[in-house]
């Protein structure tokens, strides 16, 4: 194993997830590891109240374990691009070998690029074929140390305790090699691994990855802000603070954030909460753009949706929750600037009947979507509807003075140009400006239109700074 350089902070307790097929001994293995927990001896055994637990080795080193029944948390973290575990332990039973959930777990490990080691359990059972189990694992693309690879392999009997100390030592070694660091004085960072409600209210279980969380601190979980009213360690004991690598339960959230959300000490509501963008708008409102108000049912969807909108779309207001009366007036105000119908796009957000009635009275269009691709299809339709259609194209061939004006001697390349058309002057792909025709002549005779192949001269109003080779487009909506 090649040792990495620790860039910042100091080494923190590794966060370890144990994965594998059902009945391959994951829980028994975790119980065997917990028996080495010095801090837990005073209460005999640990009763997990959350998905996370922590052990302290006789040498005083901590390891935080995340239990992932059914891989629910692991898959949710993967879906959000977050990695809760610094290290994964892939458990394979010696008597059963590689099974479907083994392959699934290995897939999660590879997708998140998580460092891992393999543990073959139940080696004490009679007539087990350890070499066969190893061979099956290797067929899944795992290369072990000593055989040309760098994946550690530990043989364990949770029943007798054989190999448990070796496993703990290897976990600590791999975490040191991978320079798993955290700065207790740094910015607070953590991940939500479980949420629930009990008589205390919403309870949010978090693993801290950086910084320190303290009672009384203002924190944010996604778009939900909270003041920490209480902190509990993995044993349910009241604590005042928790640092890097520690699992902790937080009281104080008004609602439950989504599993997989990041926890921060900064109140991050500027782009995903109920904030109007009069001064901090996501995009500058420009005439000709299509302005919309966006409402979604959760912050993650809102953030992704806004980030992937076409450049022709400008979001003037966005928030999580039901469509409200303020959304109606926000849409109406912005439409005055963009000169487009006031419009609200609601993705899985509810529209109260009173709000729907107000929207109708105010002339605001509300469109609701259940499928994200349908929403984007509708946006493309609006963009196409708003695009200007080219009716004719001419190329400027000459420039000559007439009284105090300049005449653009031109030739129709395709289509037609009418004297009453809206015209655009272009140089290569750059729009130089819009103009109307003040005078249009062919062979010194006034004309009202020119067709494909015809040559003619025009005087622009306003007079634009054209050059030979520029293109004139006749456009209309």
Residue 472 predicted with pLDDT over 90: yes
Same domain, 336 and 445: no
Same domain, 75 and 137: yes
pLDDT value at position 367?
96
Residue 65 to residue 51: CA distance in whole angstroms: 8
Residue 119 predicted with pLDDT over 50: yes
Residue 7 DSSP SS3:
coil
Same domain, 306 and 357: yes
Last-in-domain residue among 180, 213, 235:
180
Same domain, 378 and 238: no
3 in any annotated domain: no
pLDDT value at position 24?
62
Residue 243 predicted with pLDDT over 60: yes
pLDDT value at position 56?
87
Mean pLDDT (whole number) for 253-277: 64
Mean pLDDT (whole number) for 416-430: 89
Residue 320 to residue 297: CA distance in whole angstroms: 6
Lowest mean pLDDT among 44-48, 128-132, 398-402: 44-48
pLDDT value at position 338?
65
Instruction: Tell me the per-residue pLDDT of 194-226, one tens digit each, with 9 for 90 and over.
Output: 777 777 888 888 999 999 999 989 999 877 888
pLDDT over 70, % of the chain: 83
Residue 323 to residue 281: CA distance in whole angstroms: 19
Same domain, 254 and 283: no
Mean pLDDT (whole number) for 161-176: 91
329 in any annotated domain: yes
Per-residue confidence at 266, pLDDT binned at 50, 70, 90?
low
Same domain, 43 and 150: yes
Residue 53 to residue 249: CA distance in whole angstroms: 11
CA 98 and chain centroid, separation: 33
Same domain, 134 and 18: yes
Per-residue confidence at 325, pLDDT binned at 50, 70, 90?
confident
Mean pLDDT (whole number) for 41-69: 66
Per-residue confidence at 153, pLDDT binned at 50, 70, 90?
very high
Domain with residue 247: its CATH number is 2.40.30.10
Same domain, 201 and 147: no
Residue 267 to residue 273: CA distance in whole angstroms: 10
Residue 67 contacts residue 18 (beta carbons within 8 Å): yes
270 in any annotated domain: no
Cis omega (within 30 of 0) for bond into 395 = no
Residue 45 to residue 100: CA distance in whole angstroms: 32
Instruction: Tell me the per-residue pLDDT of 13-41, one tens digit each, with 9 for 90 and over.
Output: 999 988 887 666 677 888 888 774 443 43
The set of residues, in sequence order, having a beta carbon less than 8 Å from that of 79 and lying 6+ positions away, is: 260
Determine which helix (DSSP H) or strand (DSSP E) holds 306, and give its type and residue range.
Answer: helix 299-307
64 in any annotated domain: yes
What domain count does the chain have?
A: 4
φ and ψ at residue 471, rounded to 5 degrees = -115, 140
Count of residues in the chain: 477
Residue 177 contacts residue 1 (beta carbons within 8 Å): yes
Short-list 473, 453, 455, 468, CA closest to 392: 473
Domain with residue 88: its CATH number is 3.40.50.300
Here the tokens at position 233 are: 């360690």
Same domain, 76 and 208: no
Whole-prediction pTM value?
0.52
Residue 454 predicted with pLDDT over 90: yes
Same domain, 235 and 176: no
2 in any annotated domain: no
Same domain, 209 and 231: yes
Residue 442 to residue 29: CA distance in whole angstroms: 92
What crossing angle do the helices spanning 299-307 and 372-386 adopt, rounded to 10°?
30
Residue of higher predicted confidence among 432 and 466: 466
Instruction: Tell me the per-residue pLDDT of 362-384, one tens digit each, with 9 for 90 and over.
Output: 899 999 998 888 898 888 888 87
| 3-state SS track over 249-304 | EEECCCCCCCCCCEEECCCCCCCCCCEECCCCCCCCCCCCCEEEEEEECCHHHHHH
pLDDT value at position 42?
35
φ and ψ at residue 331, rounded to 5 degrees = -65, -40
pLDDT value at position 1?
54
Domain with residue 375: its CATH number is 3.40.50.10050
Residues 49, 53, 55, 61, CA torsion sign: negative
pLDDT averaged over every residue in the chain: 82
Mean pLDDT (whole number) for 333-350: 82
pLDDT value at position 270?
40
Residue 402 predicted with pLDDT over 80: yes
Same domain, 294 and 442: no
Residue ranges of E strands in 370-418? 389-402, 405-418
103 in any annotated domain: yes
pLDDT value at position 476?
76
- Identify the residue whose tokens are 């995903």: 272
pLDDT value at position 298?
74
| 3-state SS track over 319-382 | EECCCCHHHHHHHHHHHHHHCCCCEEEEECCCCCHHHHHHHHHHCCEEEEECCHHHHHHHHHHH
Last-in-domain residue among 211, 233, 264:
264
75 in any annotated domain: yes
Here the tokens at position 117 are: 């080691």
Determine which helix (DSSP H) or strand (DSSP E) holds 295, and give its type and residue range.
Answer: strand 290-296
39 in any annotated domain: yes
Domain carrying residue 342:
275-386
Residue 28 to residue 406: CA distance in whole angstroms: 90
Last-in-domain residue among 236, 264, 292:
264
């Amino acid at each position: 194993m090649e040792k990495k350089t620790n860039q910042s902070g100091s080494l923190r307790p590794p966060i370890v997830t144990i994965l594998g097929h059902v009945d391959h001994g994951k829980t028994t293995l975790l119980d065997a590891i917990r028996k080495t927990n010095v801090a837990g001896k005073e209460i005999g055994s640990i009763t997990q109240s959350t998905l996370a637990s922590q052990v302290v080795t006789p040498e005083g080193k901590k390891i935080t374990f995340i239990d992932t029944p059914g891989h629910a948390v692991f898959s949710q973290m993967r879906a959000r691009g977050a990695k809760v575990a610094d290290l994964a332990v892939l458990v394979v039973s010696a008597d059963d070998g590689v099974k479907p959930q083994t392959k699934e777990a290995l897939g999660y490990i590879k997708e998140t690029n998580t460092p891992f080691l393999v543990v073959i359990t139940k080696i004490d059972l009679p007539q087990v074929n350890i070499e066969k189990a190893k061979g099956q694992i290797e067929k899944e693309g795992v290369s072990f140390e000593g055989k040309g690879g760098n994946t550690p392999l530990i043989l364990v009997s949770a029943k007798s305790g054989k190999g448990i100390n070796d496993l703990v030592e290897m976990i600590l070694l791999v975490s040191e090699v991978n320079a798993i660091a955290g700065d207790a004085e740094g910015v607070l960072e953590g991940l939500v691994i479980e949420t629930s409600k009990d008589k205390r209210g919403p309870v949010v279980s978090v693993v801290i990855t950086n910084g320190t969380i303290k009672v009384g601190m203002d924190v944010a979980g996604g778009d939900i802000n909270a003041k920490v009213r209480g902190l509990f360690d993995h044993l349910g004991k009241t604590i005042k603070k928790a640092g890097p690598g520690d699992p902790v339960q937080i009281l104080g959230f008004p609602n439950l954030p989504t599993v997989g959300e990041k926890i921060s000490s900064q109140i991050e509501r500027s782009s995903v909460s109920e904030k109007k963008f009069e001064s901090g708008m996501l995009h500058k409102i420009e005439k000709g753009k299509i302005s919309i108000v966006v409402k979604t049912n959760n912050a993650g969807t809102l953030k992704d949706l806004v980030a992937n909108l076409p450049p022709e779309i400008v979001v003037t207001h966005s928030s999580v929750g039901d469509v409200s009366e303020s959304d109606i007036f926000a849409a109406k105000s912005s439409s005055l600037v963009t000169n487009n119908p006031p419009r609200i796009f609601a993705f899985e957000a509810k529209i109260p009947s009173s709000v729907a009635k107000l929207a109708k009275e105010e002339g605001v269009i509300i469109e609701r979507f259940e499928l994200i691709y349908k929403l984007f299809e509708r946006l493309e339709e609006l963009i196409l509807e708003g695009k200007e259609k080219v009716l004719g194209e001419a190329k400027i061939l000459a420039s000559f003075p007439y009284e105090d004006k300049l005449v653009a001697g031109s030739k129709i390349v395709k289509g037609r140009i009418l004297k009453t058309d809206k015209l655009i002057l272009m140089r290569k792909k750059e729009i130089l400006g819009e103009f109307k025709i003040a005078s249009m002549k062919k062979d010194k005779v006034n004309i009202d239109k020119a067709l494909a192949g015809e040559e003619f001269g025009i005087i622009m109003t306003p007079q634009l700074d054209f050059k030979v080779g520029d293109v004139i487009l006749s456009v209309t909506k």
